[in-house]
Each structure stands twice: as C-alpha cells, then as structure tokens.
Structure 1
Amino acid sequence: MEIPPFPRPGSLEEALALQEALAGKVVVAGSLEGVRRIAALDAAHKRGRPLVAVAVLYDLEEGLLHVGKGIVPEKALFPYVPGFLSFREAPAYLLALKALPEAPEALLVDGQGIAHPRGLGIAGHLGVHLDLPSVGVAKNPLFGRPEGPLPWEKGSAVRLLSPEGRPLGYAYRSRAGVKPLYVSPGHRVGLEEALEFVKRLPTRFRLPEPMRLAHLEAGEALRALD
C-alpha cells in the first residue's frame, strides 16, 4: 500500500504542535458496517533492542491472511514521552503496513483513539495520516474516567468521559470477569460504531482475535531478534 512520508518532529514542542494540528482533522463519525479486511496493529520493544511492529491482515470471514513486520532501531526512535507514543511507534507500524500485499479497509490499533489528552492517540494519528477508518483498543486507560461501574458480564460497556463530561469511548468487558479493554474511535468512525465493531470481532480470550494474533506475532518477532 502507498504510505505517505511520516513527519519526524525534532523536538517535543514540534511534536505537540503537529499533534494538535492533526487532532483538528480527526472525524468522529462513520460506520464500519460491511468492512471485512482489517489490519490489527501491535508493537513490542525491549530496552537496547529495535522496536518491532506487526500488522496482521485479517479477513473477518477467512481469518488471518498475512503478517507484515516493521523494525526501527532504538537509536532512531522518538523519545518515550507519555501522550506522544505515536511518534515513537508509528514509523514501525507504517513499515509493517507497507509489507502487506494489499491495503486494509480499516485499522485496529493497540492504543488510544480520541481517549487522549489532546484527542490524538496512536489510532487517530495513523488513521488521519493514512486516511483510513481506525479504532483504538487499549489494554490500559490513558485519559478519561468510566461513567459508572462496569458490570462483570461479557459484552458490558460504560462510557469513558473527559473531565468536562465529553464522551471519549468505552470501557468494555470482552469476556466475563476479565479486565476491561478501552475502546475509542481513532478516525472516520463514530463512538458507538467503534464499540459495536469491536463487539462483532471473534473473541476467545480478553483480546479480540485479530489483536491477539498481532500481540503474539509482535512478541515472537522481538524474541527472534535475540
């Protein structure tokens, strides 16, 4: 797939200005109805080693189709700063996506969408950069608070709210009794539509299957570097 050049800010101030500009381009509207082929994205990194990103091309009817990998040397990584993860991981994700034999219809990203202090988590950043619908599914919260207690039943969800009360996404229980996931739209997807899409994904464990496969592939690729 065609990948536009990714801007590499030279300082945190430049990254902040770029992040705020891109956040203004995020569209929190749209449906994933009819979307069949997605790319699930996950990354793995260990200090002193390159960062490895994986894009799993997954067909919702056929299952796993292809795995693309992207590797960026540690010395080339943007510094780790909370809230600026996309500048660190996105270059490797773009390499992984470029390695796929075809472009996905949407992105499912291990990380935040608009549930981010400036409204541009890595799912939104990649979605805007590639002009693709994207959804963030994070294992841990970053920004926002649940509207109320989350029931323990499978499929339960409560809204995540900003300090001002603006909806950002959902805390979502993918399996009964497991820790919640945090689902937020990245780009070109509505709030409810993002949650409903994640609910429709095959899920045998805590992570939806495409994301579980990406997580496993990323870990295996990192171990292979050793």
Structure 2
Amino acid sequence: MRLAYEASLMTTVEVEYIPGFLAFRESPPLQQLLEHVRQSSPTHFPDMLLVDGNGLLHERSCGLASYLGVQIDLPTIGVSKTFFKLPGIEAEDVSSRAAAELTQSGSFFDLIDSSGRVKGRAMRATKKSSRPIFVSVGHRVSLDTAVRVVHGSCEFRLPEPIRHADQVSRTLLKAFCLNASTGQRPWSLAGGPEFSERVFPTAK
C-alpha cells in the first residue's frame, strides 16, 4: 500500500466528549476536512473511508463511522482497538474467544448481540499482532467487504490509513503544544480552521 495524499485540519473542538456520543464531537471537523479535499483536490477525494471508531458495533447501532457515512453519503468502515460491552456480548468473553480462536492473520468471529444481530467482527489483523481489532459496517458497505478491505490494508495491527492518520495527528499536536509553550504556534486559529495537505509522487 502506497501513500498518495495527506490532508489535515487544525481546529477547535467545542463539543464535550460524552461516551457513546463521539460522533457529535468528531464528525463535524471530519466533514469540514472532507469538504475541503472535495473542493481543493477532487482527484484525491476518497471512494471509501476507514474510520477510527465504531459503526454498527455500538450501543445505539450508530457509532462515528455510521454517523459520518450517512452525513457525507460515502461508504465507511468502523475499526476499533477496544471492545465495549454490548447487550449479550461481554468484553471478557470476547477477549477469551480472541485468544483461543484468532490464531491466523485474517481470522475472525462474529459479534452477535442479545437480539441475534451480527454487530461486527473481531479480527486478527496480522500474524504478529495478537490483539484483535473490531470491524463493523459504517455505511453503504457489507460486513464481508469491510473485513476484506481492513485485512488487506493492515501491515501492522491497524489499517495503514488509520495508522498513518494517527501518527500525523500526534506529530502535529506535539508541534502545536511545543510551539505554544514558547509563544509561537505553527497555526493561528483566530481566523478559523487551518488546513494542510501533501501530495506524494506516484510510483513509476
């Protein structure tokens, strides 16, 4: 997998974090960023999004991946590192099953709630990564496709798009905090959100 394009948004998030309602906090800036990409670099606008958060694997069956997908009408897949208890699915049981059943790269099992509905899948991303990730439908994608796309995107535990985005965000935040401590900031948010983007050369 090769990195082709990278876009970032530095903004102020004013919505308080409430467990179970992450979408209301994180979806608006993500929508802003995607609209910026659509306008400034339409050839790099994604056909599908891998979202660091849940889709249907959520207490209300509508996590960040689902909410964002509906808002922008784009296929989305939820990928989470942590499983939270759902009706009929205990975290301890999931952990035990993962240790016993997820022995090969790409192996998975369904996560079925008390109503009998498949909410997502626990999956082993790579041979070296023993800790599972949790994949769920976000919007306009089947669970089989979601698992196939996620597994095909993993060189380590997390899919490369999510892993790279996490690394970039941590680097930008570290730079922001470091410069703020000296009174110098790489971004000024007084005029609103600040966008940055990079296009990487294509392989020949």
Q: TM-score range by the shorter chain?
A: 0.7 to 0.9
Kindly state the Cα deviation for residue 147 of structure 1 after the two structures are TM-superposed.
10
| Pairing 1:88–2:30 present | no
Instruction: Calculate the TM-score normalised by the size of structure 2.
Output: 0.73
Give the partner amino acid of 1:125.
Y
Instruction: Calculate the TM-score normalised by the size of structure 1.
Output: 0.66
SS in structure 1 at match of 2:30: helix
| Pairing 1:211–2:165 present | no
| CA offset digits 1:7-37 (Å, max 9, x no partner) | xxxxxxxxxxxxxxxxxxxxxxxxxxxxxxx
| CA offset digits 1:109-131 (Å, max 9, x no partner) | 00001001111100001100000
CA contact (8 A) 1:134 1:187 kept: yes
| CA offset digits 1:65-98 (Å, max 9, x no partner) | 2221123324x2x111111001111122122223
| CA offset digits 1:132-180 (Å, max 9, x no partner) | 0100001111354349712232211011112222101100110234211
Give the partner amino acid of 1:161.
I
Name the residue aligned to 2:35. 98
Query: Of the candidates 123, 129, 134, which is equivalent to residue 172 of structure 1?
Result: 123
Query: What is the rounded CA distance, in whole Å, between the counterparts of 2:176 and 2:35 in structure 1?
Result: 20
Query: What is the rounded CA distance, in whole Å, between the counterparts of 1:154 and 1:211 in structure 2?
Result: 18
Bigger radius of gyration among the two: 2
Q: Cα distance 1:147–1:164, how it changes in 2: closer, same or farther (>3 A)? A: farther
CA contact (8 A) 2:31 2:72 kept: no
Q: Which runs of 5+ in 2 are unaligned?
A: 178-204
Name the residue aligned to 2:190. none
Aligned-residue identity in percent: 36
Name the residue aligned to 1:149. 97
Give the partner amino acid of 1:187.
H
Kindly state the Cα deviation for residue 199 of structure 1 after the two structures are TM-superposed.
1.7
> Going by fraction, where is strand more abundant, 1 or 2?
1
| Pairing 1:71–2:71 present | no
Does 155-164 or 114-123 show the bigger shift? 155-164
CA contact (8 A) 2:81 2:133 kept: yes
Query: What is the rounded CA distance, in whole Å, between the counterparts of 1:167 and 1:136 in structure 2?
Result: 14
Q: Cα distance 1:107–1:185, how it changes in 2: closer, same or farther (>3 A)? A: same
CA RMSD of aligned residues (A): 1.9
Aligned residues: 162
Name the residue aligned to 2:174. 223
Query: What is the rounded CA distance, in whole Å, between the counterparts of 1:87 and 1:72 in structure 2?
Result: 15
Q: Which runs of 5+ in 1 are unaligned?
A: 1-59
SS in structure 2 at match of 1:149: helix
Query: Of the candidates 112, 116, 119, which is equivalent to residue 161 of structure 1?
Result: 112
Give the partner amino acid of 2:152.
R
Query: What is the rounded CA distance, in whole Å, between the counterparts of 2:3 and 2:149 in structure 1?
Result: 18
> Going by fraction, where is helix more abundant, 1 or 2?
2
Give the partner amino acid of 2:9.
G
Name the residue aligned to 2:200. none
Query: What is the rounded CA distance, in whole Å, between the counterparts of 1:193 and 1:65 in structure 2?
Result: 22
